[in-house]
Amino acid sequence: MSERLRVHVDPEKCQGHARCKALAPELFELDEYGNAHEAGDGTVPPGLEDKAWLAKANCPEIAIDVTEE
Ligand code: F3S
- What residue segments make up the domains of the chain, in order of their start? 5-68
pLDDT band at 69 (very low <50, low <70, confident <90, very high): confident
**What's the average model confidence in pLDDT over 31-60?**
98
Residue type, 60: P
Question: What does the pLDDT average to over 55-60?
Answer: 98
pLDDT in tens, 5-28: 999 999 999 999 999 999 999 999
| Farthest-apart Cα atoms in the chain, separation | 39
For ligand 1, is residue 15 a contact (CB within 6 Å)? yes
Tell me which of 1-5, 9-13, 55-59 is least confident: 1-5
Arithmetic mean of pLDDT, 21-48: 98
24 CA from centroid of ligand 1 (Å): 11
Query: How many other C-beta atoms lie within 10 A of the C-beta of residue 51?
Result: 20
pTM of structure: 0.94
Q: How far apart are alpha carbons 18 and 2 in whole angstroms?
A: 28
Ligand 1 pocket, residue 5 CB under 6 Å: no
Q: Which listed CATH number (3.90.1300.10, 3.40.50.300, 3.30.70.20, 3.90.1170.50) goes with 5-68?
A: 3.30.70.20
